[in-house]
Amino acid sequence: MDARQLKTNLENLGLSQVAFFESVGSTNDVVAGWAEDGASPPALAAADEQTAGRGRHGRRWHTPPGSALAFSLLLDPRLAERHLGRAPGLGGLAVCLALEREFGLAPAIKWPNDVLLEGKKVCGVLAEAHWSGERLLALILGIGINVAPPSVPPAEALSFPATCIEAVLNRSVDRAALLRAVAEQVLAWQDRLGSANFLAAWGQRLAYQGQRVTLATSDAAPSLSAELQGLAPDGSLIVHLEDGSTRQLAAGEITMRPAAN
Ligand code: BT5
């Protein structure tokens, strides 16, 4: 994937700015810099390799060269202002739709921000909001997708199993074409972030629906066993606890895994 191929593939999407880096710290930081300089959304930065790719709460995101998709979209904050809790779902849904349409795969979304193939993590989404006082200045949606086998970190570096698209399909995948397919879906759905259709499309793809999961709020607190019910309108997760009560969980620091693990 080179800069010219990437830019050709992203034509006619209405992006105000596109940049491709052979190697960069984090594409989310690139786009945050653009937002500070007054760039108009939507804009997109992609990298072949990230040297400081990050997940939520400062966790590391592994993006070795030649094998992954790592990119960030600067989105119009006005579209997201009232629906920020849905932003991670926008990334997850866009990746699912692209994988379904391009390859006939059946991905699922491990709430709030992971896309799974065959029960393993193939993609992570990092939604970051930048504020000035009460005003949302920028919404940045960072998406990392494991495409070829070297993109998958060694098992000992992971708390949840990972895979890549090529391992599942057993053939090679054109990263630039997949990037376009995902970007198209993000841009198509961002205007409908607040709609019932968006919530339904996200909810249909939730992993572990109706199943027992283990939820942890932090390493120190005891984990909770619960049955996963679905999504609340604000993008939080509705679960039934063993004592019969219902809880609504905001994304925050919660990690989730199937109870069998
Ligand atoms: C995420 O965080 O899953 C969000 C990842 C977002 C990455 C994109 S790439 C473009 C943009 N630029 C950035 O710097 N970030 C975004 P979280 O749910 O916190 O998961 C992080 C955890 O996933 C790590 O602690 C590892 O256990 C695991 N992990 C790291 N790299 C992985 C990979 N390539 N595939 C699967 N799991 C990985």
Q: Is the CB of 67 inside a 6 Å radius of any atom of ligand 1?
A: no
How far apart are the CA of 64 and the centre of ligand 1, in A? 12
Question: Positive or negative, the Cα torsion across 44, 46, 50, 56?
Answer: positive
Average pLDDT over residues 133-155: 93
Q: Is the CB of 161 inside a 6 Å radius of any atom of ligand 1?
A: no
pLDDT confidence band for 71 (50 / 70 / 90): very high
How far apart are the CA of 136 and the centre of ligand 1, in A? 24
Average pLDDT over residues 102-131: 96
pLDDT confidence band for 122 (50 / 70 / 90): very high
What is residue 11's predicted lDDT score, i.e. its pLDDT?
A: 93
Q: Is the CB of 20 inside a 6 Å radius of any atom of ligand 1?
A: no
pLDDT confidence band for 260 (50 / 70 / 90): low
What is residue 219's predicted lDDT score, i.e. its pLDDT?
A: 61
How far apart are the CA of 244 and the centre of ligand 1, in A? 34
What is residue 133's predicted lDDT score, i.e. its pLDDT?
A: 80
Which atom of ligand 1 is nearest the CA belonging to 71? 10
Question: Positive or negative, the Cα torsion across 193, 194, 200, 204?
Answer: positive
Portion of the chain with pLDDT greater than 70, in percent: 97
Which residue has a Cα nearest atom 29 of ligand 1? 61
252 C-beta neighbours (distance < 10 Å), count: 11
261 has a pLDDT exceeding 70: no
- C-alpha separations of 117 from 27, 109, 114, 161 in Å: 24, 9, 10, 10
Q: CA geometry: angle at 71 spanning 83 and 129, to 5°? A: 30
Calpha distance 113→237 (Å, rounded): 12
221 has a pLDDT exceeding 90: no
236 has a pLDDT exceeding 60: yes
Calpha distance 42→34 (Å, rounded): 11
